[in-house]
Amino acid sequence: MPAVRPFVKWAGGKGQLLPELSRRLPRKFRRYHEPFVGGAALFFHLFNSGRLHDGALLCDFNPELVLCYQVVRDEPEALIAALKQHERHRLDRDYFMDVRGWDRRPDFAQRGAVERAARTIFLNRTCYNGLYRLNNKGQFNAPFGYYKNPLICDPDNMRAASAALKRAELFVGDFGDVAARAEPGDLVYFDP
């Protein structure tokens, strides 16, 4: 299985800091907890290096992001198929604007989990700088990114991410929810 990489870009991502973070982590720990999962770079790094012996608890305050991780874990093939449909339109600003506008429609909450997760990943990969930004009504409002050839879906990475996420419990919450569940010997990564 290939090494897993984050499948979303996220502000404050830790990909470039992984060598330094890895040096500072304890050699042994029980369960891994991350209350601000974002792109999950450190989680995937720990998975790739075989250090998630007792699994992980991943949390974020963003319900659409947590939904993405749940769908990647539980329904990777359906998500890959949905992303391939979006991928055909990755350079089309009008298509981007239409998909971005889904959360302005009354039926948005009734859309299926796979459809919503594919939307979030598509918007993340095609919006300006991978920025996840909401207006005061809770609607996604980052602008189109004008990339030459954005990668919407890497099926092999998505399947590898699914395997990694099977070792994780995922939930929407804040750092207090995670801290309350940590036990002695666990590693809790509070993003600096």
**For position 136, what pLDDT does the model report?**
95
**For position 171, what pLDDT does the model report?**
94
Categorize the per-residue pLDDT at 91 as very low, low, confident or very high, splitting at 50, 70 and 90: very high
Domain boundaries, position 101? 31-188
pTM of the model: 0.93
Total of domains in the chain = 1
The answer to whether position 8 is within a domain reads no
pLDDT at residue 192 is higher than 70: no
pLDDT at residue 55 is higher than 70: yes
pLDDT at residue 14 is higher than 80: no
**For position 86, what pLDDT does the model report?**
97
The answer to whether position 129 is within a domain reads yes
Low-confidence winner among 5-9, 20-24, 58-62 (lowest mean pLDDT): 20-24
**For position 19, what pLDDT does the model report?**
81
Q: What is the mean pLDDT of residues 9-22?
A: 79
Between the alpha carbon of residue 105 and those of residues 114, 127, 165, the distances in Å are: 18, 20, 31
Q: Which positions ≥6 away from 6 have C-beta within 8 Å?
A: 13, 15, 39, 40, 41, 44
The answer to whether position 3 is within a domain reads no
The answer to whether position 7 is within a domain reads no
The answer to whether position 100 is within a domain reads yes
Q: Half-sphere exposure of residue 129, counting CA atoms within 13 Å on the CB side?
A: 7
Cα–Cα distance between 189 and 36 in angstroms, integer? Answer: 8
The answer to whether position 169 is within a domain reads yes
The answer to whether position 11 is within a domain reads no
Task: Indicate the average pLDDT of the chain.
Answer: 93
**For position 94, what pLDDT does the model report?**
98
130-143 pLDDT per residue, tens: 889 999 999 999 99
The answer to whether position 89 is within a domain reads yes
169-183 pLDDT per residue, tens: 999 998 898 889 999
Domain containing 153 — which CATH number? Answer: 1.10.1020.10
Low-confidence winner among 12-16, 44-48, 51-55, 169-173 (lowest mean pLDDT): 12-16
